[in-house]
Structure 1
Amino acid sequence: MHDHRKLGRELGLFDSDPLIGAGLPYWLPAGAAVRHALESYIAEVERRAGYQRVYSPVLAKRELYEISGHWAKYKDDMYPPMDMGAEQLVLRPSICPHHALMYRSRSHSYRELPLRLSELGGQYRAELSGAIAGLSRVRAMQLNDAHIFCRLDQVAVEAENALALINQAYADMGISASRYVLALPAEDAAFGDPASKYVGDADSWAHAADLLREVLKNAGVDYEEAPGEAAFYGPKIDIQMEDSAGREFSLSTVQLDFHQPAAFGLEYIGADGNKHRPVMVHRAIVGSIERAMAQLIEVHGGAFPAWLAPVQLVVLPISDDEEEVAIQVVRRAMALGLRAEVAHADEGSLGARIRENRSAPYQAVIGAREAAAGALAIRERDGKKHDAAPIGEVLDRIVRLSSPAAVRSGG
């Protein structure tokens, strides 16, 4: 594996500046292209799975986090409040309280559940400088977050489906988990005690833990239980990864929460006509975009799967005579949705340009013969060469191969 901090800067994916601050990286064009492809992929996967995309502000009143429990249990990891007249505003450490308010803003029937709200939104953590590490641990992150509001009898299926989405995403991204962890409260946890790390009651916690054990069993994955690692509001499944130095970190998660629905007074009208309390399932398919990108860089070494590559097709004219044809090919490729560019003839010999662009999944060489015939000769990243074929046919094939579905089907 590669160190994403070094390689990411060498490839022009991301960087940082002291004037912006530690733990606050910025994305360069190549990195932004990969990030956009990943975000678009997530949005489509969620849409197909019945999620509804929402947006919420990154600021809220301190009172919101007092109700959710974050202020009492998580304050040390939050930024200090900002005084705005008689109010105090806080940069959010989590998105879940906002989604709870969205749910509460409308009345709901049991027929509407599960209600799945997703958001790619900013979160902020007051990390100490010594804890910051490239993209793996930052102070401002974009989280692929979602909250499912459902009936108790729907919880297991919803959590299982969320875990299945995570595993599908990992396969499409070409990464794999190092292990699965069921994070539980400490064995001596004192529920209901204001001084305790945890909110809620022992029975709700035990029920939630049993539900997650059922989910892991049905998924057929080996897992380890980790007492003391639960969120303050409930147990969770953490999917662990390893970085280039062998350090382990959590990327994706599925969490059960009985506390916040009660804290915010969330309700739905059941089939019996009475009011009932929904359960809140927290889930993140790829966790934070920053951590996901760090893992992608380290695992693939810059040679991303075709659907994620910052440049999917590089067109190489052999000489200046083919420059205009090459430019037209790139325009056609871009119109089809591909990320394509020309490696111009005056930028070096053909061999040098091929080596310089070796991380691109596809290279198309255009000589006098190809230009005259309206054809492209494709070279794949692994060195495999294909005979020249009509430009439209070649571009259509690259479009098909530059999709997550092509990863699942083996091309």
Structure 2
Amino acid sequence: MFEEFTMYDHRKLGRELGLFDSDPLIGAGLPYWLPAGAAIRQALERYIADVERRAGYQQVYSPVIGKRELYEISGHWSKYSDDMFPPMEVGGEEVVLRPSLCPHHALMYRSRSHSYRELPLRMSELGGQYRSELSGVLGGLTRVRAMQLNDGHIFCQLEQVADEALAALELIKQAHRDMGISASGYVLSLPAVDARFGDPSSKYVGDAESWALAADLLREVLVKAGLPFEEAPGEAAFYGPKIDIQIEDSAGRESTLSTIQVDFHQPAAFGLEYMGADGNKHRPVMIHRAIVGSIERAVAQLIEVHGGAFPAWLAPVQLVVLPISEAEEKLASEVARRAVDRGLRVEIAHADEGSLGARVHENRLAPYQAVIGAREAAAGALALRLRDGKKLPSAPIGQSLDEIALACDPIRSARLELADQVGD
């Protein structure tokens, strides 16, 4: 049914569907979100916030700029400045658009004293970060200069690292299932074989022992999860090894969507501490994790995988109401209002906009269509039509809308499905 869409990559299809676009006056690698795309993005952001809250994360906000000194301490300035925007002088100080959220979160942790009883402390933020990408590598939503990253950091004791990283991996796998996308592979990204650590001219900060321990912990996580993976020397971040969860685009090109990283460096660089059970101060380990990576790359993948026919909870328009004639227009407006009250994204395809068949075809990507004719109006009912053309039995308006609202809530519907399985 959707062949005409799935033949395109996300750059073409996203513009045809009115999801995003760009303008030379804004600049390359700086796309803007149109209403339909903004609806997908907002649904994804709400989903992430709910998933993280249930997993024990505390959500925070931090500024998108910081003093150059902040990134000198974190190591970004010496190891990553080629990918950062140049400093701006403000009030006699140099400030920089952040390339990452982790230094801000390290400072948040440091701002309060902590006991071992508080750990693991899970902190998350969906925030902006900026990369000075070359024009030649920019493309659609997959490679941009400004992105919203679903970032999170777990501050924990050493003996908690493996369990916390494994839990983060399970969150990632669940999010991918709910989004209807599949990982193309798992990579354990390691330092180069001939890596030197701590040397100012080296690509990597820290010491060899910490790197080896971090790599062993992540390897243990992948083995425990029963996932096939390959090791990629030279692909680690400058501060530690990482698990990269790969995806594949319509052209067969692989990229990283989600990551889990173990970091001994930044806790040491920022002097992070917690009071242990022995009454002494100890240094936490910092786990970086991104469940869906950047919102931009996640939506690009969703566009290509689903060809515009998004899962109901992500669809820009979840319900289209189609009055057959002018006589049903008033009821159509009432149905739309009640649907909005239930949190649904709804539109009316008015009777004067064309034949019923033409309107059904025009709105074929909507998960639900509600046709209202004289019979439905008299009965106070809806005749729902699904995206695949299947028609559901007519049911009272309130019942129909409640069922759609449940189906459009990925977490509630998954919980009910699990409860049914347990009951069986």
TM-score by shorter chain over 0.5: yes
What's 1:226 paired with? 232
User: Which position in structure 1 is the counterpart of 2:39?
Assistant: 33
TM-score with structure 2 length normalisation? 0.96
Q: Distance in 1 between matches of 2:66 and 2:403?
A: 48
Aligned twin of 2:142: 136
Task: Describe the superposition over 1:220-265 as per-residue Cα deviations: whole angstroms up to 9, x where unpaired.
Answer: 1000000000000000000001111111100000000000000000
Number of matched pairs: 411
1:51 aligns with 2:54: no
Query: C-alpha distance in 2, partners of 1:401/1:256?
Result: 37
Work out the CA distance in 2 between the residues paired with 1:192 and 1:390.
Answer: 68
In structure 2, the partner of 1:60 is 66
1:387 and 1:175 mapped to 2: Cα distance? Answer: 31
Which residue of structure 1 aligns with residue 78 of structure 2?
72
Q: Which residue of 1 aligns with 2:182?
A: 176
What do the CA deviations read for 1:83-132 (whole angstroms, capped 9, x no partner)? 11320000000000000000000000000000111000000000011110
- 1:341 correspondence with 2:357: no
Q: What CA distance in whole angstroms lies between the structure 1 residues aligned with 2:142 and 2:85?
A: 19
**How far apart, in 2, do the equivalents of 1:275 and 1:154 lie?**
17
- What is aligned with 1:290? 296
Query: Counterpart of 1:111 in 2: which secondary structure?
Result: helix
Alpha-carbon separation, structure 1, partners of 2:393 and 2:207 = 67
Deviation per CA, 1:144-167: give whole Å up to 9, x if none: 000000000000000000000000
Match of 1:147 in 2: 153
Structure 2 residue aligned with 1:214? 220
Q: Deviations over 1:379-409 (max 9, x none)?
A: 0001100121110111111111112143684
1-side partners of 2:230 and 2:134: how far apart?
Answer: 29
Partner residue, 1:371: 377
SS of residue matched to 2:293: coil
Task: Report the secondary structure of 1:285's partner residue.
Answer: strand
The 3-state SS of whatever aligns with 1:286 is: strand
Paired residue type of 1:158: E
Q: Does 1:327 align with 2:355?
A: no
Q: Identify the residue that residue 254 of structure 1 maps to in structure 2.
A: 260
Name 1:195's counterpart in structure 2: 201
Could you tell me which amino acid in structure 1 is paired with residue 63 of structure 2? P
Match of residue 98 from structure 1: 104
Are positions 1:386 and 2:382 aligned together? no
Distance in 1 of aligned mates of 2:333 and 2:288: 47
Q: Could you say which residue in structure 1 is the equivalent of 2:404?
A: 398
TM-score by length of 1: 0.99
- Per-residue CA shift, 1:292-320, capped at 9, x if unaligned? 00000000011000000001000000001
Match of 1:125 among 131, 147, 171: 131
**How far 1:372 moved relative to its partner?**
1.2
Measured in 1, the distance between the counterparts of 2:137 and 2:198 equals 31
Provide the C-alpha distance between the structure 2 equivalents of 1:327 and 1:222, rounded to a whole number of angstroms.
52
Aligned-residue offset at 1:276: 0.2
Q: Distance in 2 between matches of 1:399 and 1:190?
A: 55
Q: Any idea what the Cα deviations from partners look like across 1:341-389, whole Å, max 9, x if unmatched?
A: 1100011000000000000000000001111110100000011001211
| 2:164 aligned with 1:158 | yes
Equivalent residue, structure 2, for 1:241: 247
Identity score, percent: 79
Give the residue type in structure 1 aligned to 2:270.
Answer: F
Amino acid at match of 1:360: A
CA distance, structure 1, for counterparts of residue 395 and residue 212 of structure 2: 62
Between the aligned partners of 1:362 and 1:126, the Cα distance in structure 2 is 42
SS in 2 for 1:281: strand
SS of equivalent residue, structure 1 residue 168: helix
- Structure 2: 5+ residue stretches without partners: 1-5
Question: What is the alpha-carbon distance in structure 1 between the residues aligned to residue 397 and residue 92 of structure 2?
Answer: 65
Counterpart in 1 of 2:3? none
